Amino acid sequence: MFVKLLILIVYSLRKFADSEDTGFTYTGFRSANLSLDGLAELTSNGLLKLTNSSRLKTGHAFHPIPIRFKNTSTAWALSFSTTFVFAIVPEYSTLGGHGLAFAIAPKRSLLGGLPAPYIGLLNDTTNGNLTNHLFAVEFDTLLSREFEDINDNHVGININQMKSQVSKPAGYVGNGSLPQNLSLISGEPMQAWVEYSGPKKQINVSLAPINVPKPKIPLLSLSYDLTPIIGQTMYLGFSSATGSITSIHYVLGWSFRVNGVAEALEISRLPNLPRLGSKKRSEFLSIGLPVILPVSILAVILGAAYYVMIKKKFAEVLEDWELEYGPHRFKYKELYTATKGFKEKELLGTGGFGRVYRGVLPNSKNEIAVKKVSHESRHGMRAFIAEVVSMGRLSHRNLVPLLGYCRRKGELLLVYEYMPNGSLDKYLFDKPKSSLNWNQRFQVIKGVASALFYLHEEWEQVVVHRDIKASNVLLDSEWNARLGDFGLARLYDHGTDPQTTHVVGTLGYLAPEHIRKGKATTSSDVFAFGAFLLEVACGRRPIEPAAPNEDDLLVEWVFSWWSRGEILQAIDPKLGLNYVTKEANLVLKLGLLCSLLDPTSRPSMQQVVLYLDGSMVLPELSSLSLSTAGLIVGQSEGFDDFVGSLSSSGERRSAYCSSVANSILSGGR
């Protein structure tokens, strides 16, 4: 009898434990014991501050105790409910960077989560892995084409990957049943609700301003069984990140419950967001006003005269139509101060299209690179600035972020994020002080290829760079390649024909059809990328005046080694034998393939990325045979045209260089 009673008690306790609600409520975080990493911190007034003004950083905050999401009597994930109040305060009023997410994960840290579009959740390697066991609701403030984002102000449900299962623009349905838009980067607090029904396998997400009750109609609804995703016990919290543009992400309060409805937050008890600006009362002015008034009048007169002088010095060209570009417009005085008056000691480099200076913005202390170029444009200034602003919205890990511009008199100043390791060319040519190893070079090549694929096919418009070369590839603090210098880039809509323009670019990288017709296309970018591949692998420029006459054209020199079956002889001697033979073969042959005379025979950048990743096999060039005339027989992959354009005749080579030079000098169409 005693044993039966004991069994009954144990069974009752287990059943009670299985049905027991598990939850917590944070009305502010003044005394919270959260697990924090990255930029995340708790402020003195009780705010959870996930990020600050640091660029390309992450911040995580997790409830320190694991939550039990499955019990012993059921195999499926239990129902849960959470609500939280958050606010996103952007660096610029119309640009967010990059968003935050509520996350349920197996661990209370997301080590390895990258900033920018990954919002600190995942990285290139983990994105899409079934072993992640990650459930997240993202509040994303930047459009990332690589993850098929719908816009730069959306809410999405993510499971094991950054591509959302379902997403919608931020908003809610009010009492009048009319949809209301919300700006995630308004700087105002708003409340979110995330609910999952275990029996119904239904996920609902709602959003509303803090002065509006929970909407009856959720913003997002998704039928999805979280049982395979959520383990027996899981951790939950928030992840956030910044990009080239920053936002400060706050959480003001948070409530959660398993097997029940999360406790409602008392909005009046939540901590206040910091004021954007503070006003300090000056006792001296209050007490001494009668004394200082005459001095103030004199100071105003002198100040006005000084202001006229300064205004003339820092006069800018600003027309009414430019006001719509908002934060993309920098003040000339700000850039003048940042670069210490554009002093020579701040000069980073000089090119055919401008001088580049290093600078530090006076307010944010962020490092920038400022390029001064001519502001003439065949499209007209309005169209040119529109293109600059459009390219300022490009977002890819292998692009140098274009932050904005400034116009002054006869100058156009383009503002980029500063890359501390400088341009790639200084590690390749002219007996560099330090060189890159093969692995670094191969990663640089893959990075630039990924950036061009994004520009050509993944962004909302086609972007033709028109000036791909080693000196326009910059290296960030971690030696990642960043394709920069969009001063010559042109945009056009997918499916349309690019317009004819002047021939611009650099000798050795210009595609023959670009010189003849003046049309810059994605295929002419591929041709330039072919020259880039060869210069990175060989450590030589596409045209080397100091080389013997028969070896001055790099592509012809590499082709001659290939035709003799010794293509690896073209590898940069600075590498010695420290390179991966398979990768070196691939890069050199791909460089030849991209350099074909016929643009239709060149690969697309999508194919190039697949070749470099090993997902597609490069055509076997060694199977092609040579005729007695020096031309490749047959039409395989267009190499006959290629060899026809690269005769060993010095006369043909001279004619080629002369035609290119003449086309550029005459401003060919």
Can you give 617-662 as a three-state secondary structure string?
CCCCHHHCCECCCCCECCCHHHHHHHHHCCCCCHHHHHHHHHHHHH
- In 306-417, the DSSP E strands lie at 347-351, 354-360, 367-374, 402-408, 411-417
Give dist(CA 363, CA 338) in Å, integer.
Answer: 10
Distances (CA, A) of 601 to 30, 46, 254, 607, 638: 64, 62, 58, 12, 5
- The rounded Cα 641 to chain-centroid distance in angstroms is 38
Q: Is 172 exposed, middle or buried (0-12, 13-18, 19+ CB in 10 A)?
A: buried
Query: Residue 467 catalytic?
Result: yes
| Helix (H/G/I), strand (E/B), else coil: 482 | strand
Active-site residue, from 140, 149, 152, 467? 467
For residue 240, give Cα distances in angstroms to 49, 138, 180, 193: 10, 9, 25, 18
Are 399 and 454 within 8 A, CB to CB?
A: yes
Residue holding tokens 């444009």? 377
The β-bridge partners of 58 are 241
Strand pairing category for 220-223 and 58-62: unpaired
One-letter amino acid identity for 551?
Answer: D
What is the pLDDT at residue 98?
84
Alpha carbons within 13 angstroms on the beta-carbon side of residue 66 total 13
Domains of the chain, earliest start first: 22-269 (2.60.120.200), 320-417 (3.30.200.20), 424-665 (1.10.510.10)
DSSP 8-state code for residue 284:
H
Based on its alpha-carbon atoms, the radius of gyration of the chain, rounded to whole angstroms, reads 30
For residues 240 and 248, the answer to whether their CB atoms sit within 8 Å is no
Crossing angle for the helix pair 554-563 and 522-538, nearest 10 degrees?
70
Distance CA 369, CA 360 (A): 9
The one-character DSSP state at 254 is: E
Which residues neighbour 350 within 8 Å (Cβ) at sequence distance 6 or greater? Answer: 356
Q: What are phi and psi of 509, to 5 degrees?
A: -115, -5
Phi, psi of 373 (to 5 degrees): -130, 170
Q: Tell me, what's the pLDDT at 351?
A: 60
| pLDDT at residue 408 in the model | 76
Return the DSSP state at 127: T
Q: What is the DSSP-derived secondary structure letter of residue 264? A: P
Strands 67-68 and 247-258: unpaired
Strands (E), 375-523: 402-408, 411-417, 462-464, 473-475, 481-483, 490-492
Stretches where the chain sits below pLDDT 70 are 1-21, 72-74, 175-177, 276-295, 298, 301-328, 351-354, 374-392, 409-410, 486-507, 545-551, 621-669
- Please state, in angstroms and rounded to a whole number, the distance separating the CA atoms of residues 612 and 446: 7
Give dist(CA 553, CA 15) in Å, integer. Answer: 80
pTM over 0.85: no
Report pLDDT for 19: 40
Alpha-carbon distances of 219 from 102, 147, 179, rounded to whole Å: 16, 20, 10
Token pair listed for 37: 């990493």
Percent helix / strand / coil, the chain, rounded to 5: 30, 25, 45
pLDDT tens per residue, range 478-494: 899 999 776 555 555 55
Q: Of the candidates 23, 24, 28, 25, which has an alpha carbon nearest to the alpha carbon of residue 250?
A: 28
Crossing angle between the packed helical segments 522-538 and 581-594, to the nearest 10 degrees: 140
Element housing 440 (H / E): helix 438-453
